[in-house]
Amino acid sequence: MSTPSQAEVRRSIAAAGTIVVKVGSSSLTQPSGHLDPAKLDALAAALAQVRLMGGRVVLVSSGAIAAGFGPLGFDSRPADVATQQATAAVGQGLLMARYETAFGRFGIRVGQILITAEDTIRATQYRNVQRTLDRLLDLGVVPIINENDSLASNEIRFGDNDRLSALIANLVRAEALVLLTDVDALYTAPPSQPGSRRVEYVPNVIDALGDITVSGSGSKVGTGGMVTKLEAARVAAVSGIPTVLTCASNAGPAMMGDPVGTVFAPVKARGSSRRLWIGFAAEPRGTIMVDAGAAAAIRGGRASLLAAGALEVHGNFSAGDPVWVDSEDGAHLARGLAGFDSEEIPQMLGRNTAQLKRFLGPEYAHPLVHRDNLVLV
């Protein structure tokens, strides 16, 4: 597909029927760590306007831990995981109560979805989340999504919801993703550095990643930095979804296609939601190493991974789990869904279909990873 102009990408965002908006903790809180009602109300008002004009809106909102540590008497975000989880349990309720009040002023209902990475690994769980979100949107509800920080300890340190928002955009087949943070746009280097320039338009985020110097989280209440924002924009871009990155006060203009923040063009047409899930949402549980012939066939794009071309298996996984497919030099070739449990595969390595049938039985005469479940990286 040809690269669209900045104006074309912004027009497509303004015309989006379904839009996912992600807001970070620092955009919703006061420096003390308490929720800032004025900031939250302003964001809700901007989203409500889109909803009242007929748009379908999904909000991915951080802020549970940030909302909870002030009321619990902490001066700053707690460092230990158990206290973070307890704080999130308190803060999530406070956060949702504020959102319910803010959207209620416009006659709009909200619904809470707490999610972890586990909810995107199994196909059945993935479809359950998708079905629930679709129904909420059909009912005119604004789903408010957050990672389940109270239960998933590894998730608390995971990307401040940026990657999750891009995956949710895939899930609901959104036409636009808006990432709201505490800076007004992407810069060529941290804005405090001399010579740093604001970037208005990124036609290809994959190419741009090498030209931009980014740092970690800039706030005391959030966990993500510009790195995770760019990764989210990349996931969206290769999924056919345009993205705007800007500050929370620009939420309304960003959704209306105004020239604020940084806009990222999609770099390919949208693939199937399921293949996007295999490629991005599912975290691989193991690795199957393949020989040069199998690697060449997989790179060709339409070949299944057969046992005859497999050399080694690493990790502990079940049939249906995501796995890496690696070349002999350790390079990732593809992600895929395993056709067998990890303990079944060693006896299959190097054997052709006839040998698998003869020695192991007809139930083993199938690909280790079927081509429909393989996504090239």
**Strands 110-115 vs 142-147: parallel, antiparallel or unpaired:** parallel
Can you read off the two tokens belonging to residue 170? 């895939």
Q: In whole angstroms, what is the distance from residue 57 CA to residue 42 CA? A: 15
* Residue 313 in marked binding region: no
* Residue 258 in marked binding region: no
Q: In whole angstroms, what is the distance from residue 193 CA to residue 31 CA? A: 23
Can you read off the two tokens belonging to residue 372? 């429909």
* Residue 226 in marked binding region: yes
* Residue 22 in marked binding region: yes
User: Is 350 within 8 Å of 308 (Cβ atoms)?
Assistant: yes
* Residue 223 in marked binding region: yes
* Residue 149 in marked binding region: yes
User: Is 121 within 8 Å of 321 (Cβ atoms)?
Assistant: yes
User: Which of 88, 87, 63, 64 is closest to 74 using CA atoms?
Assistant: 87
* Residue whose tokens read 């479940």: 373
**289, containing H or E segment:** strand 286-290
* Residue 181 in marked binding region: yes
* Residue 39 in marked binding region: no
* Residue 213 in marked binding region: no
Length of the chain: 377
* Residue 228 in marked binding region: yes
Q: Would you list the DSSP string of 164-227? A: HHHHHHHHTT-SEEEEEESSSSEESS-TTSTT--EE-EES-HHHHGGG----S--SSS----HH
* Residue 357 in marked binding region: no
* Residue 138 in marked binding region: no
* Residue 268 in marked binding region: no
Q: Which residues are part of a known binding site?
A: 22, 62, 149, 161, 181-182, 223-229
Residue set of the binding site for ATP = 22, 181-182, 223-229
User: Residues at the annotated binding site for substrate?
Assistant: 62, 149, 161
